[in-house]
Every structure is written in structure tokens, then in C-alpha cells.
Structure 1
Amino acid sequence: MKLTKFAIVGMVTVATLVGTGTGTMAHAADGGTLGSKADVNFIPNDTITNPVDPTDPGNPEVVVPVDPDHPAGTAGPLSIDYISNIHFGDQKISGNNEVYSAQLDQIKVGASETIKDIPNYIQITDNRGSNAGWHLTVKQDGQFVNGTSELVGAVLSFENPTLNSASESDAPTATGFSLDPAGTSSDVMSAEEDQGMGTWVEMFGEDATEAADSIKLSVPGKTSKIPGQYEATLTWELTDTPA
């Protein structure tokens, strides 16, 4: 009887040891840890950003300005992509004080090239990645002239600045302004640190209706005028630090 009892205990002990050993071996064969890496290499972005529809900047359709003389955009990573030329069209000569409103800008949208009236606008892109901010100014390089005739006392003004973007970054600051023909620079847009990343537009007028009365040319009645086209040049300057 004692022998039988010992044999049973021995069998139980052996079975326990074999089960433990089997469990340890299975864990070692099926598990473990191993490291790996992920990386990304950023390079400067020097491509030119095409104009967008300022009223719908997230629209992926191709936008082409109708004005054939619009200035080409500068190359990135911090760039002026588009600036509307300002046209006041044909105006009858007047001896009274007059205020003329600029014509709307136009773009062709999508493969159908549907023509759309839009506010005159400026488009800026910041793809630097530094989020350092930027500052845009403009100056008028002399009075409107037609040959030797100067539109003395004329004032060009930009009102109802409206910002729009598909970017989720904080918005820059936009201001209205009147230009000095003597060449004094006026603030247009300014992005502080961590503002204005991606592509931003400043429209003069929230929509076509408001824009129709947002850029004005005031001309004194006493100013001498002769038939023909008067022109002025504006210089827009974008710097890589806030104002």
C-alpha cells in the first residue's frame, strides 16, 4: 500500500514538471520583441503655387485668371502667388469730383473654363515650415499718368479686406489702406509667429457684390485730364518676418 501511494505521487509530480516545461518552450518559440524605424526627410519647397478661387480656396479645380497681363507668381517657399491688376475701365471726362469703382477680377474654373466674377485679391503662400510669420506691404510708384499728363490729387484706396483659406492655421491680419503716390508703403497683411501658414487670400470685398464698391479711385474735378489711358504702378513687397 505504501508503494502504491508513492507511485501515484511520483506520477503526479512528473506530469506537473512536463507540463511546466512544455509551456516555457512554447513561449520562447512564439514571442519576442524587435525594433524598427520610420523616417521622413523634408526638403525646401520652391514650386510656384497656382492661383486659387478666392471665394472657395479649397476647390481642387484648376483656376486660370482671365486677365492675360496678370503678374506671374514668385517661387516658394514664401511667395506672392497672385495679385489682381486693377482696372477702372472707360470713364467720361468730368469737371466734378468723381469716385470710380474698380471692375471685378475674373477667373476660369475647371475643365469647362467657366468664367466667374470674383473680388480683386492677393494670394500668399507660406510653405517654409518655420512658422516664423511674414509681412506684406504695397506702395504706389508715382501718380497715374498719361504721357506727360498727371492725374494730380487722385487717390487709390482699398476697402473691405476679407481673408480666406483652406488652411487650418491661425489667420494673418488684413487691413484696408489708401495709397500715397509719393511712394510711402502701406501695410496689407501681416502674420505673426504661428499664423498664416499655407495659402491665404485677401479679397477686397467678401463677395462680388461688396467687391464692386471696395477699390476706388477718387479724382478731383479740378484736375486736368486728357483723353487716353492713365496708368500707375504698384509694388508689393513680402518679407519673411512679421511687421
Structure 2
Amino acid sequence: MRKFRLLVLFTVILYFAFIPFIGNAEEAHSGNRASSQASIKFVHDNTPKTLRDSPKEQSDIWGDLGYGQRKRLPNTGEMMKIFGTTLGFLFITLFTIIVTYYYISGGRKMKLWKSILLSAVVLGAVSTPSTTFANESEGDGKGNAKSVGSVTLEPGDENEKPVDPENPGGEEGGETGNPGNLAISFVSPLDFGTVKLTGQDQVVSATNEAPNLQVRDSRGTAKGWTVQVAISNFMKVKEDGKLDDKAIIRGASLYLPKGTVKSANGGTGTNAPVARELSVNNKPQTVFEAPDKTGAGNWMNSFGKEAVSLTIPQDVLIGDYKAELTWTMSDTPGKK
């Protein structure tokens, strides 16, 4: 009888100890759940008489489990918890009856420690589904959400005249006014100032503060482009302002450095075009190019102060001379 009383006491303790865990499993994440309610009216005997009924009159523990006239509709995700809780109560009650009957009917051959171990295993197996259902039905508690943003991009207008380009360093007179979504928008006029002859070859630098070349590609395809440049002879300026094609500087050589490539309007971009250094002559040569998948947007090749130079041979005659540089942009992708 002593062992029987101990076993019954142990079973009762486990029974009442298990009830709070079920409630705690449901309440542990209650702060992480959001719910909404919808109203509906049932024309039947189990409908509450008025909307002012107290919570006690509207439901009880059996109603929460979905039984009787006071049953209520479960919130989203609660059905599995209700089923697990009900099943746990049934198993505990059934197990308690079986153990009590076994000892009363003389089945005392089983040792007490074995009975206790068996009780713990069964109760653990019963409690696991209920707590699992409670955990799985809840969210992660972070309140995360996803949304979608959309935008449609179209090519620039081929006929619209662009706004004035940037003039870094105070460069003036280089606006081309070229329309279109693929065009040269600015190129600095080069001024080499006044040079005193020495009877020897001389190399003089341009007096520009920030000579540069700017291009625009608003096609939105990033298919690349190429800019080439060629120069005519330096011809003497006559008194009437016209050029004398018979008085030229033979052997003059214009040098353009590689320069620094950057966004022309201060914007951002990672697929920058490529600059080339060259000695300009009367044949077109590539000075600025964008390989395929690069060059979209507004880009500038800044040659740098005192970096552009002109080589003057020793046998030139005094006078004012001018040459014309021809810059040509095509949609041919540059070389990588």
C-alpha cells in the first residue's frame, strides 16, 4: 500500500504539474502573434443572447476546446493547439486510470522505479506535441514585411536639345549643343598662349585650367561607343580673320594625355568608359571609348592642367595660327 500511495501521489503531482506547461506553451509567444476578428450571426440555440454577455457567459474551458453550446470559433492557427491540448488531457487521464487499476488488481510485481520511469516517458511524449503545435503556430516575432517597388525606364529623346553641360574649372566655349541620346556635349578649346621663338624645337603646354571632353549616352542600353579625334594643319590667320592654307606649321604635333575619367555631372556609376593617350594627327584616332556594357550616362575625360602639349618645330614663322580638331562619336563599342 505504501508503494501504491507513493505512485498515486507521484502521478497526481505530474498531472497538475503538466497543466501549467500547456498554458505556458500557448502564452509564451502570445506577444508575437497578431490577430483579427470577423463578426457573424448564427440563428441557432448556441448563439449568445446579447453582445453584452460577460466573457464568463460566452465561453468556458469546454467552449475553448470546441465543445458544447458555449463553443467558440478558434483564431487562425489555434486548431492544432486545441487538438493537442485535448489529446494530452485524455492520455493523462487514461494513463492514471490504468496505473491505478493495475496496482489495485494486484499487479505490484512491477518495481516502483520502473513505474515512475514509464510515467515520465508517457507524460513527456504527450506533452511534446502540444508544445510543438504552440511553437509552430506562432510567427518569428520580428514583424517583418516585404513590399515591391517598380519603375519603367525609356531611352532619351533623340531630337531634344540637351541642357548645358558641366564646365569644370571654368572652361568656356566648348558647348556643342548636339542633340540626341548619344552625343559629344562639351570639348574644351585649346589655347597655347604666346610663345617666343628660340630657334629650337619647343614643347608648350595648353593654358587651360581644366581641359576636358564630355559625352552623353542616354540610350539606356550600355552597348558602348567610340570617340575619335583628328587635327588639321595649324594655318596662319590673315588680317581679315581667314586662314591661309599656304602658311602652315609643318611638323607640329599635338599630344593628349590619358586623362582622368569621371562622371560629368557628379553622379554615380561603376561602368566607366576608357580614355586613351595619343599624338593627334590628320587621321582619326580613338581618344575615348566605352566597351559593351559600359559608358551609359554622362562621362568626362579630364585631361588635366598643363598636361595637353604642342610640339613646335624650330623653323616656324611668327604670326597667329589656328588648327581645327574634329571629334567624332559613333555607336561602335570600344575595345576592352
- Please tell me the residue identity of whatever aligns with 2:182: L
Asked whether the 8 Å contact 1:49–1:81 carries over to 2, the reply is no
Q: Does 1:88 align with 2:186?
A: no
Which protein has the bigger helix share? 2
Q: Which moved more, 1:45-54 or 1:162-171?
A: 45-54
Aligned length: 186
Q: Deviations over 1:61-97 (max 9, x none)?
A: xxx74x3x43423113112110000001112233211
Structure 1 residue 203: Cα displacement: 1.0
Matched residue, 2:255: 157
Q: Does 1:241 align with 2:241?
A: no
Match for 2:317 among 225, 232, 236? 225
Structure 1 residue 162: Cα displacement: 1.2
Superposed CA RMSD: 2.7
Matched residue, 1:168: 269
Matched residue, 2:301: 202
Once residues 80 and 41 of structure 1 are traced to their aligned partners in structure 2, the CA distance between those partners, rounded to angstroms, is: 22
Matched residue, 1:15: 70
- Please tell me the residue identity of whatever aligns with 1:42: E
SS of the aligned residue for 2:321 comes to coil
Matched residue, 2:3: none
Once residues 162 and 38 of structure 1 are traced to their aligned partners in structure 2, the CA distance between those partners, rounded to angstroms, is: 35
- Please tell me the residue identity of whatever aligns with 2:316: S
Gaps in structure 2 of 5+ consecutive residues:
1-61, 77-148, 237-243
Percent identical pairs in the alignment equals 28
Which protein has the bigger strand share? 1
SS of the aligned residue for 2:69 comes to helix
Normalised by the length of structure 2, the TM-score is 0.50
Asked whether the 8 Å contact 1:169–1:196 carries over to 2, the reply is no
Q: Does 1:135 align with 2:226?
A: yes
Gaps in structure 1 of 5+ consecutive residues:
1-8, 25-36, 56-63, 105-117, 206-210
Asked whether the 8 Å contact 2:187–2:213 carries over to 1, the reply is yes
Asked whether the 8 Å contact 1:167–1:199 carries over to 2, the reply is no
Structure 1 residue 47: Cα displacement: 4.2
Structure 1 residue 238: Cα displacement: 0.6
Match for 1:120 among 196, 211, 214? 211
Considering Cα pairs closer than 8 Å and 6+ residues apart, tell me whether 1 or 2 has the greater RCO. 1
- Please tell me the residue identity of whatever aligns with 2:330: T
SS of the aligned residue for 2:283 comes to coil
Cα gap change, 1:178 to 1:49, in 2 (>3 Å) = farther
Asked whether the 8 Å contact 2:155–2:218 carries over to 1, the reply is no
Q: Does 1:178 align with 2:279?
A: yes
Matched residue, 1:30: none
Once residues 153 and 302 of structure 2 are traced to their aligned partners in structure 1, the CA distance between those partners, rounded to angstroms, is: 35
Cα gap change, 1:234 to 1:94, in 2 (>3 Å) = same
Q: Does 1:50 align with 2:164?
A: yes
Match for 1:76 among 173, 180, 197? 180
Matched residue, 2:308: 215
Asked whether the 8 Å contact 2:289–2:333 carries over to 1, the reply is yes
Asked whether the 8 Å contact 2:154–2:220 carries over to 1, the reply is no
Q: Deviations over 1:180-214 (max 9, x none)?
A: 1xx21111111111211111100112xxxxx22x1
Larger radius of gyration, structure 1 or 2?
A: 2
Structure 1 residue 160: Cα displacement: 4.2
Once residues 252 and 326 of structure 2 are traced to their aligned partners in structure 1, the CA distance between those partners, rounded to angstroms, is: 18
Normalised by the length of structure 1, the TM-score is 0.68
Cα gap change, 1:73 to 1:167, in 2 (>3 Å) = farther
